């Protein structure tokens, strides 16, 4: 455990600066040196940058942000840049994992909010593929949930709690998918309360959605 002096020092030290020199010439990041940037990898880098912004411990060079936006532009499709591909816009489609990833990156790098036309169009495509027994892709649900959480409103309620019934109740959303797929009874005590591999998508969906 850190000493009181160490904790006090951490509270008063100035934010460090990082330029993220590992970014590629095209503005993004890749898991292979000297290759085209990959939206999937850029998505994970965006998580680190988002954490840095929240912690206020790091100051990100504005040039890095601008380059990242340039990359997102290069892999986006549609008049509002609402859909995203892997290394180009050739495979950009509505309602995909890459589109969910790209939209989250827009939120982090480009400060797209719920009123931005591109975010609106992109999120609409995600809402057409909500969490369900047939839709448990963990990576898609991870990024889509982040986007819907930030989007807020009725779309987020439908995604998280399920559509509203005539009596005003909601069920069938990501939270129900998580709790309903939890192991209630198991021969091995260590498995009780956990999830099977089949249910991992539901676990990612809800557990990854942080409090605002």
For residue 16, give the H/E element and its range: strand 16-18
204 band by pLDDT with thresholds 50, 70 and 90: low
Which has more confidence, 201 or 185? 185
Q: What is the pLDDT of residue 12?
A: 44
C-beta of residue 183 within 8 angstroms of C-beta of residue 195 = yes
Tokens of 174: 């990501």
CB 159 within 8 A of CB 131: yes
Per-residue pLDDT tens for 141-158?
889 999 999 998 999 999
Backbone angles phi, psi at 164, to 5 degrees: -80, 130
Please count the other Cβ atoms lying within 10 Å of the Cβ belonging to residue 114.
16
Higher-pLDDT residue of 11 and 181 is 181
Higher pLDDT, 23 or 36: 36
**The predicted structure's pLDDT at residue 130:** 92
* % of the chain with per-residue pLDDT over 90: 48
Give residue-wise pLDDT tens across range 24-78.
Answer: 889 999 988 778 999 999 999 998 888 887 877 777 788 889 999 999 999 999 9
Mean pLDDT of the chain: 82
pTM above 0.85, yes or no: no
Angstrom distance (rounded) from CA 106 to CA 91: 18
Q: Is the pLDDT of residue 185 over 80?
A: no
């Amino acid at each position: 455990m850190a000493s009181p002096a160490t904790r006090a020092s951490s509270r008063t030290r100035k934010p460090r600066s990082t330029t993220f020199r590992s970014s590629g010439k095209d503005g993004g990041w890749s898991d292979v040196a000297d290759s085209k940037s990959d939206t999937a990898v850029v998505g994970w880098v965006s998580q680190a940058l988002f954490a840095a912004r929240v912690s206020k411990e790091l100051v990100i060079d504005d040039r890095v942000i601008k380059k990242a936006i340039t990359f997102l532009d290069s892999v986006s499709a549609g008049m509002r840049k609402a859909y995203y591909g892997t290394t180009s816009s050739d495979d950009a489609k509505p309602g995909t994992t890459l589109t969910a990833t790209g939209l989250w990156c827009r939120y982090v790098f480009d400060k797209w909010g719920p009123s931005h036309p591109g975010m609106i169009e992109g999120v609409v495509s995600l809402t057409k593929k909500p969490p369900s027994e047939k839709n448990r892709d963990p990576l898609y649900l991870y990024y889509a949930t982040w986007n819907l959480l930030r989007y807020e409103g009725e779309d987020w309620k439908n995604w998280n709690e399920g559509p509203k019934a005539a009596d005003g109740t909601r069920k069938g959303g990501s939270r129900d998918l998580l709790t309903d797929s939890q192991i209630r009874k198991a021969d091995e005590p260590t498995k009780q309360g956990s999830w099977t591999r089949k249910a991992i998508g539901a676990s990612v969906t809800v557990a990854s959605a942080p409090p605002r």
